[in-house]
Amino acid sequence: MDWQPHITVATVIENQGRFLLVEELKAGRLVLNQPAGHLEANENLREAAVRETLEETGWEIELIGLIGIYLYTAPSNGVTYQRVCFAAKALRHDAQRPLDEGIVAARWLSREELERQPERWRSELVPRCIDDYLTGPLHSLDVIRN
Give residue 20's pLDDT band: very low, low, confident or very high (50, 70, 90). Answer: very high
For the chain, domain boundaries:
6-143
Burial of 46 (0-12, 13-18, 19+ CB in 10 A): middle
Give the CATH superfamily of 6-143.
Nucleoside Triphosphate Pyrophosphohydrolase (3.90.79.10)
pLDDT value at 96 more than 90: yes
- pLDDT tens digits, residue range 40-65? 999 999 999 999 999 999 999 999 99
Q: Which stretch of 6-10, 30-34, 79-83, 142-146 has the lowest confidence by average pLDDT? A: 142-146
Contacts 24+ apart (CB under 8 A), 22-29: 22/56, 22/57, 22/99, 22/103, 22/105, 22/106, 22/107, 23/103, 23/104, 23/105, 23/106, 23/107, 24/56, 24/102, 24/103, 24/104, 24/122, 25/102, 25/104, 26/102, 26/122, 27/76, 29/120
Instruction: Judge whether 119 and 70 are in contact, CB under 8 Å.
Output: no
Contact assessment for residue 58 and residue 93, using Cβ atoms and an 8 Å cutoff: yes
Residue range 68-92: average pLDDT? 93
Q: Note the pLDDT of residue 74.
A: 85
Give the residue-averaged pLDDT of 111-124.
95
- Confidence class for position 1, pLDDT limits 50, 70, 90: low
As a whole number, mean pLDDT of residues 21-39 equals: 93
